[in-house]
Amino acid sequence: MGQKVNPNGFRVGVIKDWNTRWYASKKDFADFLVEDRKIRDFVKKKYYQASISRIEIDRAAGKTTVSIFTARPGLLIGKGGTGIDAIKEDIKKAIGKDVSVNIMEIRDPDADAQLVAENIASQLEKRISFRRAMKRAMGRAMQKNSVKGIKLMVSGRLGGAEIARSEGYHDGSIPLQTMRADIQYGFAEAKTTYGRIGCKVWIYKGELLGKRGASDRREEGGK
């Protein structure tokens, strides 16, 4: 079998940026890394119902900024912005530092790989057939103009079967090896009575870097 690589990490530095942006000395590096992990785990666990896709962390001049990308910003912001203050206090208790929080809205949750994976996982936990859940998610995603292709895979004791297996569906094109291809990858786990079922989602949204034309090649080679 061919070896798999995470599509997000594969494209960092080419068309994608890091989810965490800071520089630290050797002395502070490990502490910052642990803090980042604590922030992500805490926010994701406590506010899971808010459909959080990703959390970006910036550190500059001793100030930490946490940007939360969510499909349901109203749940996090609360009445008159009280929710943001509560999140700041919760994070301060977790890591012992003041942070500023930005809430960013995801306008198209059906075209976000992480949210699609979590949606399929939640349906599997409610005992909905995995085939129905996958086909429904695939159909909704392909209706969006921004989506050029989607691939879904679930693995585990599907339908309570004794032997674990993997099943997948795909529609459109998914050029995983093309580095200029904007591919989102999401993973979620469904905790069922039979064990855990993993859900992986790849969504292709077109190419970000322009293709080299014949005129460019002629100028370089003189042909």
> Is residue 221 situated within a structural domain?
no
> Looking at the structure, do residues 44 and 92 belong to the same domain, yes or no?
yes
> Is residue 73 situated within a structural domain?
yes
> Looking at the structure, do residues 158 and 195 belong to the same domain, yes or no?
yes
> Looking at the structure, do residues 69 and 39 belong to the same domain, yes or no?
yes
Q: Looking at residue 45, which CATH number applies to its domain?
A: 3.30.300.20
Mean pLDDT value across the chain: 88
| Rounded Cα distance, 106 and 203, in Å | 15
Summarize pLDDT for 116-157 with one digit per residue, the tens: 999 999 999 999 999 999 999 999 999 988 899 999 999 999
> Is residue 98 situated within a structural domain?
yes
pLDDT above 60: residue 210: no
> Looking at the structure, do residues 99 and 118 belong to the same domain, yes or no?
no
> Looking at the structure, do residues 68 and 94 belong to the same domain, yes or no?
yes
Last residue of a domain, one of 105, 135, 166: 105
pLDDT above 90: residue 95: no
pLDDT above 60: residue 219: no
Segments forming the whole domain that contains residue 51: 7-105
pLDDT above 70: residue 32: yes
- Percent of all residues in the chain with a pLDDT value above 70, rounded to a whole number: 92
Q: What does the angle CA 182 – CA 183 – CA 185 come to, to the nearest 5 degrees? A: 150
> Is residue 1 situated within a structural domain?
no
> Looking at the structure, do residues 13 and 96 belong to the same domain, yes or no?
yes
Number of domains, the chain: 2
